[in-house]
């Protein structure tokens, strides 16, 4: 649960490397995280929750383009 909380950029980069190493070994990882650079870099699939309800699920590219995610986390969508 939020392993990157309180980490600096170098520590997050090390965490990213460790997660990728586990993935290469065939280990599945469930990651709950708010550092989006880390999530988008290591995740194959992402589920996004807003107030406990799933608002989106997909690969990183789909999540970045999702209007519900943009509205919930950025306060706007591409249509604004």
* Domain parsing of the chain, residue ranges: 1-43, 44-80
Mean pLDDT of 15-29: 98
The answer, as to whether pTM is greater than 0.75, is: yes
In percent, how much of the chain has pLDDT > 70? 95
In this structure, the dihedral spanned by the alpha carbons of residues 35, 36, 40 and 45, taken in order and rounded to 10 degrees, is: 90
CA dist 75 → 32, 47, 65, 70 (Å): 21, 19, 14, 6
Q: Is the pLDDT of residue 19 over 80?
A: yes
3-state secondary structure of 62: helix
Residue 32 pLDDT: 97
pLDDT level of residue 75 (50, 70, 90 thresholds) = confident
């Amino acid at each position: 649960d939020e392993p990157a909380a309180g980490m600096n950029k170098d520590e997050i980069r090390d965490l990213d490397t460790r997660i990728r190493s586990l993935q290469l070994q065939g280990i599945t990882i469930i990651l709950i995280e708010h550092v989006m650079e880390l999530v988008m870099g290591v995740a194959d699939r992402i589920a996004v929750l807003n107030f406990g309800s799933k608002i989106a699920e997909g690969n990183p590219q789909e999540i970045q383009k999702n209007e519900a995610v943009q509205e919930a986390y950025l306060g706007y969508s591409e249509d604004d």
